[in-house]
Each structure stands twice: as structure tokens, then as C-alpha cells.
Amino acid sequence: MTSPLVKIESHPQSAKRLIGINYEQFIRLVALAEQRHKQKQTEIEKNKVRIIASGGGRKPKMSPKEGICLCLVYLRKKNQLLIF
């Protein structure tokens, strides 16, 4: 099974059907989410006492763009089930 993000990026016109918003809105949403995430991380880093060096730990398996796409697909499918 292919990722919904791969389908959306290869066929941007199908974004509305898969996630409920068009491709341009999705790209803007991802940019805003990444910006907000960076702001929150800088706020957290100001007050954090480090035991492990910065950059240590497990790397995420999913990019923020993939995570947002999967959340939108999930919410769209869940909403469709509630309607019927």
C-alpha cells in the first residue's frame, strides 16, 4: 500500500478527495505546522536541562508532512463513518 502523501504529491488534483482540502491548502498547513513546531521546540530548549547532547536520541520515522497527511486522512475517514 502506498502512502497517501505519495498519491497526493503525484496527483495533486486528488488531494481534495483524499484529505478534504486542496493541495495548496495542504502545503500551507504543513508550513504553518512546521513553523509552530520550531517555535515550541525553541521554547522547550530554553528551560531544558540537558543530560544527553543535542541531536541525540531516536530519529523520527515519519516526516511532519507525512504525519499531517495521515492525520487528515484518518479524520476524513472517521468523519465519513460517523455520517453513515
Four-CA torsion 38, 42, 63, 9, nearest 10 degrees: 10
Give, in order, the Cα–Cα distances in Å from 6 to each of 3, 12, 67: 5, 10, 13
Residues 6 or more apart whose Cβ sits within 8 Å of residue 40: none
User: Which amino acid is present at 36?
Assistant: R
Residues 10-61: tens digit of each pLDDT: 999 999 999 999 999 999 999 999 999 999 989 988 888 877 777 777 888 9
Residues 51-72: tens digit of each pLDDT: 777 777 788 899 999 999 999 9
Other beta carbons within 10 angstroms of residue 10's beta carbon come to 9
Packing angle, helices 64-83 and 23-47, rounded to 10:
120
